[in-house]
């Protein structure tokens, strides 16, 4: 485990599968890091174990050669990138500045990874994990909603700060000083990706759909 984990702190356990056939659009994982940094400025300045730059820790020749080993290295890079995306989102959503993480690969199946991410708050960790997976999947698929992720993160932060009270599109648009149509587009997108969910209100003064963060917890571990 990561020696930087603080004894007694809690950590999220996120198990992911990297589907076969998923490939970077470019052969160099640094290109994906650069693309992700457009939504998460500063991601490319993250440090890894041993204080090395994140860009220097990628497994090279991990894509495009068609070999089993090549596919394994490519998926390890993706899992490692997701770990950093989740850490970054915890900072953007809840201001979490001090947290560590570690990613462990399985021998069998080689497509499976466990990510352990230190966090003091289950809702923040869960939101960051869901949003991080959505962001990575959309980048890998070249989804047209990618430019909206800057706004998606602000919507996540707004709902996190107001939790457990839900917010409608009009209210979110007013708080974020963004056009209602743009906010509506991103809340629909985030609902489809299970980052936010519609909250049914007994009394709904504002009318329209009300959203809150998806709150189903992920597994937790306590660092020893």
CB of 164 to Zn ion, least distance (A): 33
Per-residue interface string for the shown chain with Zn ion, residues 159-178, x marking contact by CB under 5 A: --------------------
Complex with Zn ion: residue 48 or 176, whichever CB lies closer: 48
Q: What is the phi/psi pair of residue 77, to 5°?
A: -65, -40
CB of 205 to Zn ion, least distance (A): 46
Complex with Zn ion: residue 39 or 103, whichever CB lies closer: 103
Complex with Zn ion: residue 53 or 198, whichever CB lies closer: 53
Given the structure tokens 């708050």, which residue do they identify?
121
Residue nearest to Zn ion (CB): 48
CB of 61 to Zn ion, least distance (A): 19
Are 32 and 81 spatial neighbours (Cβ–Cβ below 8 Å)?
A: yes
Return d(Cα 105, Cα 146) in angstroms, integer: 28
Q: What is the phi/psi pair of residue 78, to 5°?
A: -65, -45
CB of 149 to Zn ion, least distance (A): 21
Q: How many residues bind Zn ion (CB under 5 A)?
A: 1
Buried b (16+ CB within 10 A) or exposed e, 46-55: beeeeeeebe
CB of 83 to Zn ion, least distance (A): 6
Return d(Cα 186, Cα 176) in angstroms, integer: 13
Are 16 and 113 spatial neighbours (Cβ–Cβ below 8 Å)?
A: yes
Using CB under 5 A as the binding rule, the residues of this chain from 31 to 60 that contact Zn ion are: 48
Rule CB under 5 A: which residues touch Zn ion? 48
């Amino acid at each position: 485990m990561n020696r930087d984990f603080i004894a007694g702190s809690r950590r999220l356990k996120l198990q992911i599968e990297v589907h076969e056939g998923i490939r970077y659009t470019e052969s160099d994982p640094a290109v994906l890091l650069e693309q992700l940094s457009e939504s998460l400025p500063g991601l490319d300045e993250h440090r890894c174990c041993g204080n090395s730059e994140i860009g220097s820790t990628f497994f090279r020749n991990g894509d495009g050669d068609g070999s089993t080993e090549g596919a394994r290295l490519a998926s390890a890079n993706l899992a490692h990138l997701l770990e950093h995306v989740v850490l970054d989102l915890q900072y953007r959503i809840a201001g979490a500045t001090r947290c560590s993480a570690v990613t462990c690969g399985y021998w069998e199946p080689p497509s499976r990874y466990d990510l352990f991410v230190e966090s003091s708050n289950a809702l923040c960790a869960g939101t960051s994990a869901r949003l991080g997976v959505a962001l990575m999947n959309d980048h890998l698929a070249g989804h047209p909603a990618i430019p909206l992720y800057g706004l998606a993160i602000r919507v996540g932060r707004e709902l996190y700060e107001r939790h457990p009270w839900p917010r409608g599109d009009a209210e979110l648009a007013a708080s974020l000083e963004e056009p209602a149509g743009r906010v509506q587009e991103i809340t629909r997108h985030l609902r489809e990706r299970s980052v936010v969910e519609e909250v049914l209100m007994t009394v709904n003064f504002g009318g329209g759909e009300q959203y809150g963060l998806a709150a189903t917890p992920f597994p937790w571990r306590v660092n020893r």
